[in-house]
Amino acid sequence: MPLEFWNSVLFVDESKYNVFGSDGKQMVWRKPNSELEMKILAPSVEHGGGSQMVLGCMSAVGVGNSHFIDGMMDKYKYLDILKQNLKQSAEKMLILSHYKLYQDDPKHNAHICRLWALYHCPQVIKTAAQSPDLNPIKNIWDHLNNRIRKFKIYSKNEL
């Protein structure tokens, strides 16, 4: 694909930020019989201390609106966020008339979301369910997560 094609692609994705560490398993390498040493022990918080989901978009031109998501994200909530933010972001980036929407999460491809995009987006890039992740906004989420981890955060509001 020529470079001009990618200049007007609007990448959409969401990311979750935990108040206190990971909500998944954490692997630790240790020597035998050292599991109770203070340097091995990691503090924890019941129920992870909370989290905040953020949905955002970006293109080669810049970054669009960010939307903080309360509760679980489903296709209905995702559609509402698109309606509120997508065109506004494309307009801000000066690509409203010719942007191409790139979204790769299964809830983004729900029937009502695809139908809305068909009538409201100039073009939608189709992605396979198990395709390699080409979405560059993942790099922004990773950078943001690294910046957040430099601070001591005690509540969801501080995120």
91 located within any domain = yes
Q: What residues make up the domain containing 11?
A: 3-19+51-158
Q: For residue 81, what is the enclosing H or E element? A: helix 75-92
131 located within any domain = yes
DSSP code string of 124-159:
EE---TT-----THHHHHHHHHHHHTTS---SGGG-
7 located within any domain = yes
Residue 9: which CATH number?
A: 3.30.420.10
43 located within any domain = no
pLDDT at 57: 95
Residue with tokens 């009502």: 112
138 located within any domain = yes
83 located within any domain = yes
Task: Name the domain count of the chain.
Answer: 1
Encode pLDDT of 36-84 as tens digits.
777 666 666 666 567 889 999 999 999 999 999 988 889 999 999 999 9
Q: Is the pLDDT of residue 129 over 80?
A: no
Mean pLDDT, residues 144-153 taken together: 83
38 located within any domain = no
117 located within any domain = yes
pTM equals 0.78
